[in-house]
Structure 1
């Protein structure tokens, strides 16, 4: 049993030492709230103009919905789509792996990363981490970072209210902190989809949203060459790469695509003079 530092035993939303500044509600949320208030007042004072109030509300909803369906968007709040532009990241890239841990794939990934001396960032699903606690601890023991990818990874995450978002994120935060002894610093939304209410919840739990620069679509693409080319096309310093050790697609011979892709990506990156860092190392 890992003995947690006393600070880590606190409620994650009550941590006294924050990693991220509290920036307040994002502008998009403020504008949305202001418009709804204005529309309500308008309907009460000028009911004959209701089509205009309705149209404005529809435009607002469409805008925030589209922003939430665009994983790399920053319209709904801060979002890491590449590593910070600081000197130590000049030749750095980050490898991130989602949806684990997987009892078959993740151990093989860890062995492969050890062989190449590469550290990665694992965005784990809380329920899966709880199911495989030893494997979850092994990820951290081998020098990698574990971050928050929600507790259940539900497909309705992006249409969830603030209370449910808080419960889902807090549950994963508690699970991963308990299992690893380290409080996650980053959050990645299921499928990268979110809504305008997410950023205030992330600030409450001292988390920063992290998306990616490029992804391989390796949960549905079975050809390792195609996945690798998607990641390597125009590969540049400060890129964040997305792959999956959970729910990974398999090749025609039944092997996880990820295991064929990783060596190609790592070799190509090193030939470009790039080195891999975890997201925590990058900030």
Structure 2
């Protein structure tokens, strides 16, 4: 977590500017620079600015991991069929209300040996503006549903949209979660071109990459089929997120 040291640095800069009679514009420029870092740190989970998230695996092996957010959905069974065909285990960060909607699919994810992570109860669009208590409630409600439907517990958590801030950091600590990020973002929820999504994932693939996908559309399913073929041809093996935690 880099937030608090940076605040101290910002305060030191203000004292320095004051001591040398800096102008209003210097103060303003410093403030905007500070604000820009805060915003950047909130939306880029790889920075670890507010929360130390796992974003890759340190490994010498030619291996990567597939993670799927926002399910289960009506499309998830197709994804499971494809993963089973290639004998690949993935990690699914599930939304509580989606588990309630598709309980049998959720049970199948577990039955077929995939790893489950918490992705909050509702995946609120206002996640970045929620209080610590509300975020904690979102995480705990999802945990309750995961246990009720799947009879399992998980210490894995992925912040919706990858957004982090001090409130989310406190909620993660309070619920004893491990924050899981990524270092390959497919952008499959905002890009309609399947070729662009495929290229986004494969063009810079490296050992230990954590790939972010969503089991929420036919489009991503089609891309996944090509990605799995790519991994097979390039002789990549796969790991699941819980294997990192066990070896951490």
- After TM superposition, the score normalised by the length of structure 1 is 0.74
Residue 79 in structure 1 maps to residue 49 in structure 2:
no
DSSP-derived class of the 1:183 partner: coil
Distance in 2 (CA, whole Å) between partners of 1:181 and 1:82 is 28
Shift of 1:118: 0.7
Aligned residues: 234
Given that 1:68 and 1:196 are in contact with CA atoms closer than 8 Å, whether structure 2 keeps it comes out as no
Distance in 1 (CA, whole Å) between partners of 2:2 and 2:213 is 31
Residue 119 in structure 1 maps to residue 89 in structure 2:
yes
Unaligned runs of 5+ in 1: 1-25, 43-50, 249-255
Residue 257 in structure 1 maps to residue 219 in structure 2:
yes
Distance in 1 (CA, whole Å) between partners of 2:153 and 2:34 is 35
Shift of 1:82: 0.9
CA deviation string 1:131-155 (max 9, x = no partner) = 2111111100011111011110111
Given that 2:51 and 2:164 are in contact with CA atoms closer than 8 Å, whether structure 1 keeps it comes out as no
Shift of 1:163: 1.4
Change (3 A) 1:163 1:211: same
Counterpart for residue 10 of structure 1: none
Given that 1:97 and 1:243 are in contact with CA atoms closer than 8 Å, whether structure 2 keeps it comes out as yes
Shift of 1:30: 6.9
Given that 2:184 and 2:209 are in contact with CA atoms closer than 8 Å, whether structure 1 keeps it comes out as yes
Counterpart for residue 274 of structure 1: 236
Counterpart for residue 72 of structure 2: 101
DSSP-derived class of the 2:48 partner: coil
Unaligned runs of 5+ in 2: 16-23
Distance in 2 (CA, whole Å) between partners of 1:196 and 1:76 is 6
- After TM superposition, the score normalised by the length of structure 2 is 0.84
> 1:164-179, aligned counterparts within 5 Å?
164-179=134-149
Distance in 2 (CA, whole Å) between partners of 1:65 and 1:215 is 19
Distance in 2 (CA, whole Å) between partners of 1:167 and 1:29 is 25
Counterpart for residue 202 of structure 1: 172
CA deviation string 1:93-119 (max 9, x = no partner) = 1100111110x2001111111111111
DSSP-derived class of the 1:72 partner: helix
Counterpart for residue 149 of structure 1: 119
DSSP-derived class of the 1:235 partner: coil
